[in-house]
Structure 1
Amino acid sequence: MPLTGHCLCKAVTYSADVDQPAIVAYDHCDDCQRQSGSTYSLVAVVPKAKLTLNGPVKTWTGKGSSGNAVHRLFCSECGSPIAHDPDAAPEIIALKAGTLDTEIKKTLKPDTEIWTVSKLPFCQEHLANPFEHMPQ
């Protein structure tokens, strides 16, 4: 069964013809923190040749730590980040796992953390007193 997903407004959809991502990682790099507006970005890495993207995707290109370009794909309508595509690893693309279809992302099991050199010191796997929703 392929991995499928979409942006917030559903203008961009995608399908990766794989059963599972090659890697599911917490990406702590500073660029992913800024793009996601959070402490890390959960990514699902798939072979780029297996990905089909549809819809109005825009790209912003920056420079990775390798010195090579990293292309960040996002929906031009709602701004949802979709993936990042590093020139340093041209065979893969890192999908923003939060954009996967709900039933698929519920099955994800992160297997690694990357860019932990940029991991914020307060990030912990489990925090005390979690709230199921926003506290009232």
Structure 2
Amino acid sequence: MPITGHCLCKAVTYTVDVDAPLITAYDHCDDCQRQSGSTYSLVTVFPKDKLTINGPTKSWAGKGSSGHAVHRIFCSECGSPIAHDPDAAPEIIAIKAGTLDTEIKKKLKPDTEIWTVSKLPFCQESLAHPFKHMPE
């Protein structure tokens, strides 16, 4: 069964033709904190070639720690962040888990933390697989 989701205004929808994410991670990087306006961003990572996005998107590219661009995709109507697409890992894309359809979100089980080097000190709970940066 494909995984589906949409932005806040529903102008952007997407489908990922897989049964489950590769990982579901708390992303503590400073860029995700700023983009989400929160202490971390919950992301679900998928093979990029399985994703289809429909609707009006824009993207902004910043430089990741690898020195390569990270493209942040968002709805051009409501501004909801949809995904980040790192040039350093061209085979994957990280979908912002908050945009998944509600019944799918309810079944998520975060299994990884990334960029714990940027984790805020009051976020103490850890998962079994924390990484100081991106997993290699």
User: One fold, TM greater than 0.5?
Assistant: yes
Give the length in aligned residue pairs.
126
* Structure with max Cα Rg: 1
- Residue 77 of structure 1, CA deviation: 0.3
Distance in 2 separating the partners of 1:125 and 1:36: 19
Query: What stretches of structure 2 of length at least 5 have no aligned partner?
Result: 127-136
- Relative to the length of structure 1, the TM-score reads 0.91
How much does 1:124 deviate?
3.5
C-alpha root-mean-square deviation of aligned residues, in Å? 1.0
Q: Deviations over 1:63-112 (max 9, x none)?
A: 00000000000000000000000000000000000000000010000001
Give the letter aligned to residue 2 of structure 1.
P
Shift of 1:125: 3.6
- Measure the CA separation in 2 of the matches of 1:23 and 1:36: 19
Ranges of 4+ aligned residues in structure 1 off by more than 2 Å: none
Query: 1: CA distance between counterparts of 2:115 and 2:125?
Result: 16
Q: State the one-letter code of the partner of 1:117.
A: V
Residue 72 of structure 1 pairs with residue 77 of structure 2: no
SS of the residue 2:107 aligns to: coil
TM-score, length of structure 2 as denominator length: 0.91
d(CA) in 2 for partners of 1:125, 1:4: 29
SS in structure 1 of the partner of residue 72 of structure 2 = strand
Structure 1 unaligned segments of length 5 or more: list them. Answer: 127-136
Task: State the partner residue of 1:121.
Answer: 121
